[in-house]
A and B are shown apart, each in its own frame.
Chain A
């Protein structure tokens, strides 16, 4: 073997060793792969109008299959957008110890900061949380979950969310709608029906000593709540369809899997729910403005990154199979329901009887 051949063989051995090392490295699972930001992806298909959703503290719009960042100012991690009939948005900016509600335009410019919950950096317990903004059909009344009232610093540990309402132009915390079960986390995810009544998820400690959720219906701020689901169902995330009586909800029966169920609110109660999607990690259902289907968020594969799915014909006798809208590499904020704007879209609306 010539000296040159030996040298060549030596180089090949080194290359082989490096190759083996890299080969093993290539077989690492893709669990930790960083999520792609939606604006670097394309939707699998186009849906009409504009859909707003959140990922990693930013709000994205989806129009004609293209995602774009909504260039909001640096006020915290943006989440839970809710589109108003005029196309503007209510959106939450979450800081480290507080969250605030903003009214913004689709181009990211701020119309108004509606809450000022950053009260103190020194006594952080004086700050407040606000989540899940929504409005009634004309956008004139704003509803949200708010951690008011709460005890003064060092008095007690109690911290629960209640449903509050107000005019967007004034204080959100004008009218308190709900009184939560203490130390459960409280009442969340309000949705407004055509007659001005609201449904929301309320948490309670079940006889099993687990905290479970019930969909509550409440006609006025002072009215007693009507439970629409049972503690065994453990349902939350209600989404009222444009018809005003169809409600999608996420039920987990106190387990680590969820089911999206759809039922109709008639004669003061829900009829037998139909299962729309079962055995999933689904969250945040949201109806199309014309009621033709429903969006929801759930992982697309074992990495657990949340994707947006479209269920055409949800709630009908013959729904289509769910279709993946996002491209699988994004990781959408599962706690921010998509919100959908189609200019002039209007569905037949009825008030619950």
Chain B
């Protein structure tokens, strides 16, 4: 087969009356195209700067908040820190749409510590199943007396105090026999700011929560002072400080820390309800509100997919677990009120609620 010759090019008259190649634009036309491209590029850059200026502070703050690295380790008898067996068994991040676990930590980052290490007042282990849209929340009592990953045997709330998020994760992984994919830590003021930034939370307060010995560490100049708290029962719209009083108070509750765990889970679910209403334009405000009071190893990119997921899970698919007796037994060790774990019962429960 013979190659066909290309059709002869037609020439057209230019403005100057001379014939030009139609494929190659005239210099003036080229100039116009170039100008148009430059203008378009200018608008794109200007629009990009508009977006950047909106999210700039968020991006800067996000570097400090998100994507924290963790290597859960456990202390050996020789004092060496080695990765936990759970960490060794599963080091890769869970695949998209695979169930994942997250350790939620809440701390007294109050004036008493002078900015130093803090205890975790709240530990909630959550398992999220994105496909089946199910969440299980297990509240770990802060007084649970366990072998810490840092070597001591003490209350579990001290794991974070001694070794930060790594130690808290490792301690839970070792004792509960569960792998933790992610963690998030929030301080008191961060929780207050977060709730205020989402416009408050709607909670059905279970009962009158009265506490004459509530710490006034956030509201006054003396971190050791008390304030009187009275959160009244029933459906209500709580501000950040009201919600904090509701989840933090424990003196007026016969169930002590268990009662507080129930209330913490309620507020967490109320926050989840608000999360599904948030848009991407709200991110700078929220990041600005929690900045130094929030840390997580979840990457910013993953956070974008977690927020809609949080809102898509129906309340009926949320299982709440609190380790009441017989899972735990109250006793005193030294001068400390502690909870002794019944590991057989707890690990059986965990193996069912948190399958690997």
Chain A positions within 8 Å of B, measured between CB atoms, are: 1, 9-10, 12-14, 16-21, 24-29, 31-33, 96-99, 124-125, 127, 129, 131, 147, 150, 157-161, 182-186, 188, 201, 203, 205, 209-213, 236-237, 250, 252, 254-258, 280-284, 298-299, 302-306, 331, 334-335
For this complex, into which size category does the number of interface residues on chain B fall?
A: 35 or more
* In the complex, B25 has a CB within 8 A of chain A: no
Identify the interface centre among B43, B46, B197, B207: most chain A CB within 10 Å of its CB: B207
Can you list, as one digit per residue, whether each of B96-135 has a CB less than 8 Å from chain A (1) or not (0)?
0000000000000000000000000000000000000000
Please name all residues of chain B whose beta carbon is closer than 8 Å to the beta carbon of A212 when the two chains form the complex: 206-207
Report Cα–Cα, A184/B230, bound state, in Å: 12
Q: Would you call A203 and B277 a contact (CB within 8 A)?
A: no
Chain B positions within 8 Å of A, measured between CB atoms, are: 35, 39, 42-43, 45-51, 53-54, 196-204, 206-213, 226-228, 230, 232-237, 251-255, 258-259, 262, 266, 269-270, 274, 277-282, 285, 315, 322, 324
Report Cα–Cα, A7/B162, bound state, in Å: 61
Please name all residues of chain A whose beta carbon is closer than 8 Å to the beta carbon of B278 when the two chains form the complex: 29, 31
Please name all residues of chain A whose beta carbon is closer than 8 Å to the beta carbon of B277 when the two chains form the complex: 29, 31, 302
Q: Would you call A21 and B50 a contact (CB within 8 A)?
A: yes
Contact partner, A16, options B43, B210, B226, Cβ 8 Å: B43
Q: Would you call A131 and B232 a contact (CB within 8 A)?
A: yes
Given contacts A25-B54, A28-B285, contact A184 B207 (CB under 8 A): yes
Given contacts A129-B210, A157-B251, contact A9 B42 (CB under 8 A): yes
Q: Would you call A305 and B198 a contact (CB within 8 A)?
A: no
Q: Report 6 cross-chain contacts, Cβ distance below 8 Å, ordered by A residue.
A: A10-B42, A14-B46, A21-B51, A147-B210, A209-B255, A211-B206
Q: Would you call B46 and A185 a contact (CB within 8 A)?
A: no
Please name all residues of chain A whose beta carbon is closer than 8 Å to the beta carbon of B54 when the two chains form the complex: 21, 24-25
Given contacts A161-B210, A304-B199, contact A283 B252 (CB under 8 A): no
Q: Would you call B202 and A16 a contact (CB within 8 A)?
A: no
Please name all residues of chain A whose beta carbon is closer than 8 Å to the beta carbon of B200 when the two chains form the complex: 304
Q: Would you call A98 and B255 a contact (CB within 8 A)?
A: no
Chain B's closest residue to A256 (CB) is: B204
Q: Would you call A331 and B206 a contact (CB within 8 A)?
A: no
Other A-B pairs beyond A19-B50, A96-B228, A211-B255, 7, CB < 8 Å? A21-B54, A31-B277, A159-B211, A306-B236, A334-B234, A334-B237, A335-B236
Contact partner, A237, options B212, B234, B270, Cβ 8 Å: B234
Please name all residues of chain B whose beta carbon is closer than 8 Å to the beta carbon of A201 when the two chains form the complex: 233
Contact partner, B210, options A20, A29, A160, A205, Cβ 8 Å: A160
Query: What's the nearest-Cβ distance from chain A to residue B268, in Å?
Result: 11
Contact partner, A13, options B43, B199, B202, Cβ 8 Å: B43
Query: Which 8 residue pairs are nearest across A and B when measured between Cβ atoms?
Result: A185-B208, A31-B199, A20-B50, A183-B254, A17-B46, A157-B251, A17-B50, A21-B50
Contact partner, B204, options A31, A97, A281, A331, Cβ 8 Å: A281
Report Cα–Cα, A79/B208, bound state, in Å: 16
Please name all residues of chain A whose beta carbon is closer than 8 Å to the beta carbon of B232 when the two chains form the complex: 131, 188, 335
Report Cα–Cα, A184/B253, bound state, in Å: 6
Report Cα–Cα, A21/B279, bound state, in Å: 15
Report Cα–Cα, A129/B210, bound state, in Å: 9
Please name all residues of chain B whose beta carbon is closer than 8 Å to the beta carbon of A150 when the two chains form the complex: 212
Chain B's closest residue to A237 (CB) is: B234
Report Cα–Cα, A209/B50, bound state, in Å: 53
Identify the interface centre among B201, B203, B253, B322: most chain A CB within 10 Å of its CB: B253
Report Cα–Cα, A157/B43, bound state, in Å: 65
Please name all residues of chain B whose beta carbon is closer than 8 Å to the beta carbon of A97 when the two chains form the complex: 227-228
Please name all residues of chain A whose beta carbon is closer than 8 Å to the beta carbon of B281 when the two chains form the complex: 24-29
Q: Would you call B202 and A304 a contact (CB within 8 A)?
A: yes
Query: What's the nearest-Cβ distance from chain B to residue A182, in Å?
Result: 7
Please name all residues of chain B whose beta carbon is closer than 8 Å to the beta carbon of A283 when the two chains form the complex: 234-236
Q: Would you call B46 and A13 a contact (CB within 8 A)?
A: yes
Contact partner, A24, options B49, B51, B251, B253, Cβ 8 Å: B51
Q: Would you call A258 and B204 a contact (CB within 8 A)?
A: yes
Report Cα–Cα, A32/B165, bound state, in Å: 31
Q: Would you call B206 and A28 a contact (CB within 8 A)?
A: no
Report Cα–Cα, A254/B233, bound state, in Å: 12
